Structure 1
Amino acid sequence: MHILFEHYKNIDNYFKQRMMLLGVKGEWVHCEIVFDELDNLRASSWGSIGTDFQPWQNIKKPNLFEIYMLPSDNWREVYQFMKNHEGSPYDKLGVIGMVYGIALQHKNSKFCSEICYEAIKNHVSISIPLVRPSSVSPMQLRRCIINSGVKRVPSLALNK
């Protein structure tokens, strides 16, 4: 099991790149859990579809991602956590709250770093700070992952 962070330059629209870059206050603007145990199935919450699973083949420009290996002892629990949220809408209001540091969220919706943080905090055996999940940006989650001692792996490690 891995966590994947997407670089803002992977976004095709220049205006959207800049908005994302400013919003998360850093270059890593999206995150996903990757289940290598399930042929690199990716799980996250995407702005266009909400919480869902995507095949690895749909990833564009893999060189604009960083990948970190997570302990996989509880990958089934992480998968089930994501499965339980599948179909939940993307939390647009929560993203605005995350950007401005205020609690604005819908109870049943999540944005990418919020759902990834909850999955990792509740089911993965690494030490990351206990914070309000709706306040965690992809950039902050990446920093938490790195500070917990998780090492980056070569992006080609997951290419099929």
Structure 2
Amino acid sequence: MHLLFEHYKNIDNYFKQRIMLLGVKGDWVHCEIIFDELDNLRASSWGSKGTDFEKWENIKKPNLFEIYMLPSENWREVYQFMKNHEGTPYDKLGVIGMVYGIAVQHKNSKFCSEICYEAIKNHVSLPIPSVRPSSVSPLQLRRWIINSGVKRVPSSALNK
């Protein structure tokens, strides 16, 4: 099981790049959990469709992604957590709240770092802070993962 972070420069639209960069206050604007146990199935919450699974696609610009190997003893629980939230709408209002540091969240919606944080915090043994999930940005989650000693792996390691 891995955690992937996407760099804002991977977004094709320049205007959207800038909004994302300013919004999350850092270079890493999206995250997702990758289940190498399931042929690298990806799980996250995407703005276009909410929480869902996608098949793995080879990373075309590996320098615009970072991948960290997570402890995998509970990967089934993480997968089930994501499966239980499948179809949950993307939390646009929650993202705005995360950006401005205010507690705004719809109970039945999630954004990428919120759902990834919850899955990891609840099912992976890592010393990351306990905070309101809707306040977690991809950049914060990345820092906590790095600070907990998780090592980065080459993104080419997942390309098949």
**TM-score of the superposition, structure 1-length normalised?**
0.98
**Larger deviation: 94-103 or 62-71?**
62-71
RMSD: 1.0
Structure 1 unaligned spans of 5+: none
Q: Say whether 1:80 aligns with 2:61.
A: no
Deviations 1:55-90 (CA, angstroms, capped at 9, x unpaired): 112755343110000000000000000000000100
1:43 aligns with 2:43: yes
- Asked if 1:124 is matched to 2:124, the reply is yes
Instruction: Show structure 1 runs of 4+ deviating over 6 A.
Output: none
Partner of 2:65: 65
Alignment of 1:136-151 (within 5 A): 136-151=136-151
Looking at structure 2, the residues matched to 13 and 108 of structure 1 have their Cα atoms a distance apart, in angstroms, of 29
Distance 1:32 1:117 in 2: 10
1:91 partnered with 2:88: no
**Number of residues of Structure 1 aligned to a counterpart in Structure 2:** 160
AA aligned to 1:42 is: R
**CA deviation vs aligned residue, 1:18-50 (integer Å, no higher than 9, x gap):** 000000000000000000000000000000000
> Which residues of structure 2 form unaligned runs of 5+?
none
Matched letter for residue 4 of structure 2: L
Q: Secondary structure at the match of 1:56?
A: coil
